[in-house]
Amino acid sequence: MWIADNWKDYEVIDTSGGEKLERWGDYMLVRPDPQVIWNTKKKHMGWKKWNARYQRSNKGGGEWDFRSLPEEWTINYKELTFHLKPFSFKHTGLFPEQAANWDWFSDLIKNADRDIKVLNLFAYTGGATVSAAKAGASVTHVDAAKGMVQWAKENAAASGLADAPIRWLVDDCGKFVDREIRRGNHYDGIIMDPPSYGRGPKGEIWKIEDCVYDLILRSVQLLSDKPLFFLINSYTTGLQPAVLSYMIHTAIDPIHEGTVEADEVGLPVSSNGLVLPCGASGRWTAK
């Protein structure tokens, strides 16, 4: 498992009864987690003195219960700064487990000894974008949600990257890839974090099991003659690490030489030394 264990401003303090107790900077949040199917005694005072808690509804969805949480605050990861705010479906605008991948591709970019162009698809609030840019890459950031792209811009500015070579695009990722193929554009690194399910602006249905492999095949056409890396993340239960590995192997191996790894990503739990699994990633690295 790839563990994001370099955080100072974030930690999973404890897990029990379908929930996790987290510290985000100065604030403690309780959020549901489907992986936490065990039930242990909740000893940490944060279980009673949380700043905000997201509670699921029996009818689906859920809502936040706030005690003392600002509308927005920031946390740091190494040289990066991220704006956080609680919004729908329990999220805060950041997936801390992805720091394991940020560190991986940032090292590749720094050690490449050449200019690196990175494409970040389904780029959300820009954790991977600002990490790649801070490492020295020029980045094309693509997400279909205008609000998420604006949030990512704020994260870049907070991280001292307001003038970095980042291209911000509000666009459908699949359509963007197709246009880039026609334009003949190429990238040295590609990152994608596709959702399990979604709808496009014209009602197009995205279902990851049906659509992701075709998108990988098309995206691979955008790799440069000397590609550096390819990364895909999945929070979909059916897409296990082995599945990610097979998709990358079959899509990239016929074209470029490299190594493929796939594994779960996780976060350490400070109260008991366990690691909370948080999805899976597949990585291709050029030889």
173: enclosing H helix or E strand: helix 173-183
Domains 2-70 and 96-286 share a fold: no
99: enclosing H helix or E strand: helix 99-110
Do the beta carbons of residue 264 and residue 277 sit within 8 Å? yes
The HSE-up count of residue 122 (CA atoms within 13 Å, CB side) is 20
The CATH number assigned to the domain with range 2-70 reads 2.60.40.1180
- The pLDDT of residue 199 is 73
Residues in the chain: 287
- The pLDDT of residue 282 is 98
* Spans of all domains in the chain: 2-70, 96-286
Class of the CATH-defined domain 96-286: alpha beta
Pairing of strands 258-268, 2-3: parallel
- The pLDDT of residue 56 is 86
What does the DSSP 8-state code read for residue 223? B
> pLDDT, tens digit, for every residue of 161-186?
999 999 999 999 999 999 999 999 99
Residue tagged 């109260």 (tokens): 271
> pLDDT, tens digit, for every residue of 58-97?
777 899 999 999 999 999 999 999 999 998 789 999 999 9
> pLDDT, tens digit, for every residue of 119-171?
999 999 999 999 999 999 999 999 999 999 999 999 999 999 999 999 999 99
